[in-house]
Amino acid sequence: MARQLSALDAQFLNFETSSNLAHIAGLAVLDPSTAPGGEVTRAALIELIKERAHLAPPLRRRLVQVPFRLDHPYWAEDREIDFDYHVREIALPRPGDDHQLGEQVARLHSRRLDRRRPLWELYLIHGLSDGRIAVYTKVHHAAIDGVTGAEVLAALMDLGPEPRRETPPPESEPDTPPETVEMIVRGSAASWRTRGRRCASSRA
């Protein structure tokens, strides 16, 4: 069964507004000449993530809201991830200096993630000076923390120039959230428990 968000993870969703964002991000500036074939392409990044997505669960999960928001949402496994949406490609205008890169990353970071999809995006940025490229990745804090972030990096990155090959796992049943009626029942029970604790606390 799908995993339910903890109270802390749900808070990262609840306090988010158009101006108060709750995703975290990383920026890597790379020399593409050390990559296989001497370049880094969007197609190669997509293939890499597809091949290793089973090692990075946060990249495969999407939110499922409980009806009437009676309880915290659930994570459900998305077996039809639109990688063409999640992995994007842009280029800086000349001269492609670090100031321009910072401005572009700031614009990308200011946009909220689409909650109808797994909560991550990756941008391949061309046009940096000296032939460099950049990879900017953002993931919602509800989906990832320091430990899981390190695990995702370890799954996607290689220690040497030659990429390792991953064997896909055997097909298994996807993690699915409870049925709608069950979510309502569970959510109602959780709501009453919360009210009971609040009443007990106020009397104390």
Is cis: bond before 32, omega within 30 of 0?
A: no
Say what the pLDDT of residue 196 is: 62
Any bridge partners for residue 63, and if so which?
A: 75
Tokens read off for 66? 């409980």
**Would you state the pLDDT for residue 204?**
56
Taking all residues of the chain, what is their mean pLDDT, rounded to a whole number? 90
Sign of the Cα torsion 10, 156, 146, 17 reads negative
Mean pLDDT score, 95-108: 97
Which residues touch 28 (CB under 8 Å, ≥6 apart)? 134, 135
Q: Specify the range with the lowest mean pLDDT, choosing from 8-12, 24-28, 140-144, 174-178.
A: 174-178
Q: Which residue has the tokens 């923390």?
A: 145
Whether residue 198 has pLDDT greater than 60: no
Query: Mean pLDDT lowest for which of 23-27, 158-162, 194-198?
Result: 194-198
In the numeric block, which tokens belong to residue 51?
């091949």
Question: Does residue 43 surpass a pLDDT of 90?
Answer: yes
> In this predicted structure, what is the pLDDT of residue 142?
96
How does residue 189 score in pLDDT terms, banded at 50, 70 and 90?
confident
d(Cα 91, Cα 165) in Å, to the nearest integer? 29
E strands within 71-130? 74-77, 87-91, 120-126
pLDDT of residue 166: 82
pTM for the whole thing? 0.88
Amino acid 16: pLDDT: 94
pLDDT at 200 over 60: no
Place of tokens 């090959």: 165
Identify which has the larger pLDDT, 200 or 14. 14
Burial degree of 103 (CB within 10 A; 0-12, 13-18, 19+) = exposed
Higher pLDDT, 25 or 192: 25
Active site residue 141: yes
- Element of type H or E holding 180: helix 180-203
68-82, 122-136, 174-188: least confident range: 174-188
Q: What is the mean pLDDT of residues 86-107?
A: 97
- Tens digit of pLDDT for each residue in 75-85? 999 989 999 99
Residue 113 is predicted with a pLDDT of: 97
